[in-house]
Structure 1
Amino acid sequence: MQHVTPDRILLVDDDREIRDLLVTYLTKNGMQVVAVPTGRHMRAALEESGPFDLVILDLMLPGDDGLALTRDLRAGKHKATPILMLTARGDEADRILGLEMGADDYLAKPFAARELLARIRSVLRRTRMLPPNMRSTDEAPVLAFGDWRLDTIERHLVDAEGVVVSLSGAEYRLLRVFVDHPQKVLSRDQLLTRTQGREAELFERSIDLLVSRLRQRLRDDAREPRYIKTVRSEGYVFSMQVEGQDR
């Protein structure tokens, strides 16, 4: 019988009862779980026990909250690790902000353990739909193309005159997929999976709107684009050469 390596989950929640309950439940369902109470402990676990297949991150934490930790994860060497955010807040804006910063999914408390398990499996399945060469890899801190430089630490664009152009989380993730794979035709399904997670299932054409927004950031003429070209019936291709640089 073929040996299956268990999925490794890092759970970050300051509620000990929730940690104990989820560790027991997820372990019974074949996962290896490391549970910690704060962002400081999360960083230590990533260094000492990583890598992990997925991070479950509570929004409300002492010290650095889940939004700050999501931003840090997406800017560091663990940027490709999927994040599932837990939130007790009723404000939809917090959930949207979490997704914009790079979370792959969210689940509002209180929740059933089996729903969390289903979300974990769904996020992992979407992530693994991408072939290995479609997953984010560590690159130079600055990626240069055409008239632009993309600062992968600060997650913004800089034009030829040094003017900074801000990007939303979704815009940055889409641009990273493009610049990581220049001159390759990428389907809408591949781009949706990487940039929008579960929302992709609800808005199949939303990638076109996101590409349109990114073209505006790049000052790219949609009728005669220099950077992102449409390939009829297939998807999009980033047509520029990309060069890694130091900051």
Structure 2
Amino acid sequence: MFKGVRTIILDYDGTLHDSTKNYIHAFKQAYAYLVEAGHAASRDWADAEITKWLGYSSKAMWENFMPDLDEEVRSKASKMIGQILLEKAQTGQAVLYEGALETLQALKKKGYRLVFLSNCSRAYMEAHRESFGLDRYFDGMYCTEDFSFIPKYEIFESIQSVFPGGYLIVGDRFQDIEVAEHHPVSTVGCRYGFGFPGELDSADAQIDDIRELNDLL
């Protein structure tokens, strides 16, 4: 199915990194600040209502979540989430999906070029790079903050200019799979991540465990 693939571009949160617990905590802390400051009404949140924002850039998340929020307040709440997630990574509280690093190592041994592409900040990417020694596996690491949070399908053009085709995109959200609507790439959707039912239907293949990726290639 994926004959000719030489470069594999992998999303991070919801694909390699299980950010559920840390993101829920950070989101609730930021929302509590908004409530205390009088910018939002107090309410309870189901986990799925929070994790649905994973995969979005911080800019896109706030534009969709609370579009009428004052820009300065939005920025403070966004930075609060980012700082908490950063501290979690820096203090060893980030968790990868079981078998994630072993899968990356196996793919690298097969000769694939591996590229990290995440809707995250540079500080977040660097913290995880250091925490998990990601340089041992990835030939290139890209975060959307370095590109002013433009869509991944636009950033792909920069990756394409550096790494050889064919290309395989692996991720859990539509932001990953939609790259194939703009470029001749193959896609694998990760059903265990944070996407909604049907969100990955257009992917060429779907997996329920990151370790299944090695079996496909």
Q: Please indicate, yes or no, whether the TM-score normalized by the shorter chain is above 0.5.
A: no
Query: Which structure carries more relative contact order (alpha carbon 8 Å, separation 6+)?
Result: 2
Per residue, is there more helix in 1 or in 2?
Answer: 2
Normalised to the residue count of structure 2, the TM-score between the two structures is 0.33
| CA radius of gyration, larger in | 1
